[in-house]
Structure 1
Amino acid sequence: MPERNLSQVDADWMIENFKVNTVGPALVMKHFSPLMITSRKEGRVFSILATISARVGSISDNQLGGWHSYRISKAAQNQLSRTSSLELKRRGTAVVALHPGTVNTDLSEPFQGNVRPEKLFPVDTATVQLLDVLDSLEISDSGKFFDYAREPIEW
C-alpha cells in the first residue's frame, strides 16, 4: 500500500516501485528505440514512444504528499520521458508521458472512494482516450506530459 507518511517508507517497496515504474520503461526505450520506424500520417513523419505515468508524478502538482515510493518513481519516469525525448526527437521519435486518469481496475479499487463517478474510467474508455491523445500528437509535442483529455500537465 502507498505510504501515508515518511515513517512508512520501506526500502524494498521503494525499489520495487522504481523497478516497475522507472527501470522497466527505461529498458523498453533502450531496446525499442532503435527499432522505431517513422509513420506517415497526413504529411507528418515520426514515431511515438509513450509512457503511462500518473499525475501524482508531477512535482509541481503535488498538493497532498504521501505515496512516497510510487510518486517518486513516477517523477523519475517523467524525467526519463523528458530526457529521452531530447535524444529521440532528433531521430524522428516523439516521447511523451500520459496520465490515464483513474481507471477502474483492481489496482485502483482501494483508492476510488474520493473519485467522482464521471472521473472513474472503465479500461476500454481509458484506452480509447489515450489512443486519441496519441493520434493527435505532433513531433513538437515530444517531451511533454498529457492527461487523458490531452490537457498538459506540468512536470
Structure 2
Amino acid sequence: MRALVIGASGGIGTALCAALQAQGAEVTALSRSQDGLDVTDADSVAQHLGALEGPFHRVLVVTGALEIDGMGPEKALKHLEPEAMLAQFKLNAMGPALVLRHAADLLPRDKPAVLGVMSARVGSIGDNRAGGWHSYRAAKAALNQFLRGAAIELGRTHKQTICVALHPGTVQTDLTRKYLGRHPAVPPAEAAANLLRVIDGLRPEDSGGFFDWAGKPIPW
C-alpha cells in the first residue's frame, strides 16, 4: 500500500506516518516546514503534488490550525476580526480544497482507496450547541462542504475511492495545549491509531460522510 500524508510534520501527521509505516505502507510525507509545501498557495500545491508519482491508496490531509498568528478562536461575535477570519478560511478550508483539486491525479481509478481530510466536530452545524469559535467553526464547515462535493465528483471517475471528513478528537499537541482544560485528550499516537482504524473500516457507501475518531457519523 502507498500512502500520502500532507501536513506530516505536525503531531497527528507525524504519528500517522509512523503508524502507516508500521503497517508496512510506503509513505510519502509532505509539509510546509520540511518540504516547503504551502497548502494556501495554489502554485506551491500544484508544484509539489504534480511532482508525485501516484497512485496512492491512502491520501490523508492533516493540515490546519486552531490558532493562527497568535489569534485564537473568538468567544463571541463581537470579537470577529476580518483578517483573522480570512486566515482561518485560507488555512482550514481553502488549503485542503486546493489539495482536493489534484485528488483525481493522486488516486487509483480501478482500486480501493481512501481520501481523508481532518475536519473537526465544531465544524458541524447540527452539533453546534455552544456557539463561539465562529471563524474556525465556519472554516471547518466550509471544508466539509468541499469534501462532500469532492466525494460526489470522484465517485463518477474513481468508483472505489472513499472520500471522507474525519474528526480526530482532542489531541495533545503544541497547537492545542492551551485549550485542553475542558476536554479529554489523547496522545498523537493514539489519535493516529484511532483514525486508521476508522479508515480501514470504511465502506464505499460511507464516501461523502463525516466521522469521528470512533467511527461514529457526525451530523453536517
Answer with 2-11 or 107-116: which moved more: 107-116
- 2:87 counterpart letter in structure 1: E
- Measured after TM superposition, the shift of residue 47 of structure 1 is 1.5
- TM-score, normalised relative to structure 2: 0.64
1:114 paired with 2:182, answer yes
Shift of 1:109: 1.1
Tell me which of the two structures has the higher relative contact order, counting C-alpha pairs closer than 8 angstroms and 6 or more residues apart. 1
Contact in 2 for aligned 1:56/1:71 (Cα 8 Å): yes
- Percent identity of equivalent pairs: 48
1:61 aligns to what?
A: 127
CA distance in 1, matches of 2:138, 2:169: 18
Give the SS at the match of 1:101: coil
1:102 match: secondary structure: coil
Per the normalisation by structure 1, the TM-score is 0.90
Number of positions where the alignment pairs a residue of Structure 1 with one of Structure 2: 147
Residue 38 (structure 1) shift: 5.0
1:2 aligned residue: 73
Which has the larger share of helix?
Answer: 1
Query: Does 58-67 or 45-54 show the bigger shift?
Result: 45-54
CA distance in 1, matches of 2:124, 2:102: 26
Q: Deviations over 1:56-97 (max 9, x none)?
A: 000000000000110000000011111111111222222100
2:180 is paired with a residue of what secondary structure?
helix
The CA deviation at 1:123 is 0.4
The one-letter code sitting in structure 1 at the alignment partner of 2:182 is: N
Matched AA of 1:26: A
- Please tell me the residue identity of whatever aligns with 1:112: L
Q: CA deviation at 1:106?
A: 1.2
After the TM superposition, list the runs of 4 or more consecutive aligned residues in structure 1 that deviate by more than 6 angstroms. none
Kindly report the root-mean-square deviation, in angstroms, between the aligned alpha carbons of the 2 structures. Answer: 1.2
Q: Whole-Å Cα distance in 1 between the matches of residues 103 and 163 of structure 2?
A: 12
Q: Which residue of 1 aligns with 2:202?
A: 137
Say whether residues 1:83 and 2:149 are aligned partners: yes
- Aligned partner of 1:34 in structure 2 is 105
AA of the residue aligned to 2:177: E
For residues 62 and 19 of structure 1, what CA distance do their matches in structure 2 show? 22
Q: CA deviation at 1:32?
A: 2.9
Contact 1:89 1:139 in 2 (8 A): no
Other-structure match for 2:6:
none
Specify every segment of 5 or more residues in structure 1 that has no aligned partner in the other structure, as ranges: 40-44
